[in-house]
Amino acid sequence: MIISKLKAITTLSILALLMISCAQDQEEEKETSSTSLSGLSGIQVEGAWARPGSEGATSGAYFLITNYDESPDSLVAVHSEIARTVEVHESYEREEGMMGMREIPSLEIPAQSTVRFEQGGLHVMLMNLTQSLSEGDTFELTLQFKQNGEQTVDIPVKL
């Protein structure tokens, strides 16, 4: 009798877990479909900012790129009048354990995803600044995407 009660409790527990799992899957589907139903499409850049820097020196720009499309896109170029050289870079750990940076000539932005540009990771490197960047300044940065074309973003300078 005790064994049959344990079997019943085990069976009910498994059924409860399956029902919870199905409910979570349905909730995730609702969230995904509500994003696609919201009418958002293409590429959106949000949360942009850059570090201060002196004329002739370097700075970095950071932001989020979200691809709302059903197919991937690629960031193929970046431009700004604020620096003589503007490149997408990634930080990485070199063999001797030191951190390094290298240029990324083309960066895939997967479909229905967000790519984060942040300190210590992906970022836009602004080299040989044409003027000083101080907190409170704003400049334009143009991002060139393979599928979605150019998008110009106002970049505020923050500490």
- Three-class SS of 75-141: EEEEECCCEEEEEEEEEEECCCCCEEEEECCCEEECCCEEEEECCCCEEEEEEEECCCECCCCEEEE
Residues 123 and 86 in one domain: yes
Does residue 25 sit in the same domain as residue 52? no
pLDDT (tens digit per residue) in 32-54: 433 443 578 999 999 999 999 99
% of the chain at pLDDT higher than 70 = 76
- CB distance 84 to 128 below 8 Å: yes
**Cα angle vertex 84, ends 134, 51, to 5°?**
25
Same domain assignment for residues 34 and 87: no
Give the domain CATH number at 127.
2.60.40.1890
Structure-block tokens of residue 12: 């009910």
- In terms of domains, do 104 and 73 share one? yes
Mean pLDDT, the chain, rounded, equals 84
DSSP state of 72: -
- Specify whether 126 is located in the same domain as 83: yes
Same domain, 56 and 28: no
The owner of tokens 């990485």 is: 92
Range of the domain at 55: 43-156
In this structure, the answer to whether residues 29 and 48 fall within a common structural domain is no
- 69 and 84 together in one domain: yes
Same domain, 2 and 77: no
Q: What is the mean pLDDT of residues 78-89?
A: 98
- Same-domain pairing of 110 and 58: yes
- Model pLDDT, residue 40: 87
Asked whether residue 71 falls in the same domain as residue 112, the answer is yes
Q: Are 128 and 86 in contact (CB under 8 A)?
A: no
Query: Does 28 share its domain with 90?
Result: no
Indicate the number of domains in the chain.
Answer: 2
Tens-place pLDDT, residues 104-145: 999 999 999 999 999 999 999 999 999 999 999 999 999 999
